[in-house]
């Protein structure tokens, strides 16, 4: 039940509602609105649905003065406080209570089906909110009851991150395919030494011809210098001067 300090909100207001006295139930079968005197309602007035806390109140009030005729506390819907009839969607059975706790069952009906639809939806929406509020309260009181995700590493489990490797690899590929025809440096960053003159100057002439040709060259040099012919002996190294002048 609601307490005195709780705020009361208005859920729905309908200006026209009819109230009927209904006969006692003869059995457990559904209630039929056709058994009522529908053409002669016992009371006509305004209906207001309010909510205080989790309890809704269906209040029947005078249209002009607003004086309360009867009210029905509703703690659940559908439930015993508000029941539908079996033969129409515009009529309901309402259990009203007074301040002393006495209760009675009356029939109510609307002249328009839209009004009965709004009446039904207002109660459904309120108790849908009540259900959600109860679930939230349970989760707040017992937060450890909800299953938790285990995001920790298992024993022996590792993770590998490759950050920026793809970008570096793409960049190196774009620089290497620029069309300059540059070869990558050799391992270790060192260049091979150039071949020596001994390994590059291969002669296909016989050794005797080589000595005769070198002798002619030396004779020409001597004639130009006006110097006597000082041919070196055959045993001397004819390639020593060339070797000494070749770059190292």
Please give the structure tokens belonging to residue 24: 């006692």
The pLDDT score that the predictor gives to residue 170 is: 57
Nearest to 16 by CA among 46, 60, 56, 54: 46
In the beta sheet, which residues pair with residue 91? 109
Contact 14, 53 (CB under 8 A): no
Exposure of 130 in the CB half-sphere (CA atoms within 13 A)? 18
- pLDDT number for residue 141: 79
Q: Percent helix, strand, coil in the chain (nearest 5)?
A: 30, 20, 45
Structure token digits, residue 242: 């060339």
Taking only the tens of pLDDT, the chain with its 248 residues reads 555 567 899 999 999 999 999 988 777 777 899 999 999 999 999 999 999 999 999 999 999 999 999 999 999 998 999 999 999 999 999 999 998 989 999 999 999 999 999 999 999 999 999 999 888 888 887 766 656 666 777 777 777 777 765 555 555 555 555 555 556 666 655 555 555 545 444 444 444 554 555 554 445 454 455 555 555 555 555 555 555 554 54
Name the residue with tokens 């298992």. Answer: 154
C-alpha to C-alpha distances, 66 to 35, 60, 69, 95, nearest whole angstrom:
30, 9, 9, 20
- The pTM (predicted TM-score) of the whole model is 0.56
User: What domains lie within the chain, and their CATH numbers?
Assistant: 8-140 (2.30.29.30)
CB 200 within 8 A of CB 247: no
The position carrying tokens 């959600």 is 132
Q: Which two tokens stand for residue 223?
A: 């004639």
- What phi and psi, each to the nearest 5 degrees, are found at residue 73? -70, 130
């Amino acid at each position: 039940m609601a307490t005195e300090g709780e705020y009361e909100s208005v859920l729905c207001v309908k200006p026209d509602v009819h109230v009927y006295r209904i006969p006692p139930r003869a059995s457990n079968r559904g209630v039929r609105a056709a058994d009522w005197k529908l053409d002669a309602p016992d009371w006509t007035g305004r209906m207001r649905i309010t909510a205080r806390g989790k309890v809704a109140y269906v209040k029947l009030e005078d249209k002009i003065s607003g004086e309360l005729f009867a009210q029905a506390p509703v703690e659940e819907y559908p439930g015993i406080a508000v029941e539908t009839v079996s033969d129409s969607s515009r009529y309901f059975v309402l259990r009203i209570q007074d301040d002393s706790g006495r209760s009675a069952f009356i029939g109510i009906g609307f002249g328009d089906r839209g009004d009965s639809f709004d009446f039904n939806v207002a109660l459904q929406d309120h108790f849908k909110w009540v259900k959600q509020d109860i679930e939230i309260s349970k989760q707040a009181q017992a937060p450890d009851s909800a299953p938790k995700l285990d995001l920790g590493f298992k024993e022996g489990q590792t993770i590998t991150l490759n950050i920026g490797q793809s970008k570096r690899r793409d960049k190196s590929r774009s620089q290497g395919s620029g069309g300059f025809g540059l070869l990558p440096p050799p391992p270790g960053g060192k260049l091979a030494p150039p071949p020596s003159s001994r390994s590059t100057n291969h002669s296909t002439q016989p050794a005797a011809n080589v000595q005769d040709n070198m002798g002619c060259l030396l004779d020409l040099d001597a004639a130009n210098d006006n110097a006597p012919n000082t041919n070196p002996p055959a045993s001397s190294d004819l390639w020593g001067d060339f070797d000494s002048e070749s770059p190292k």
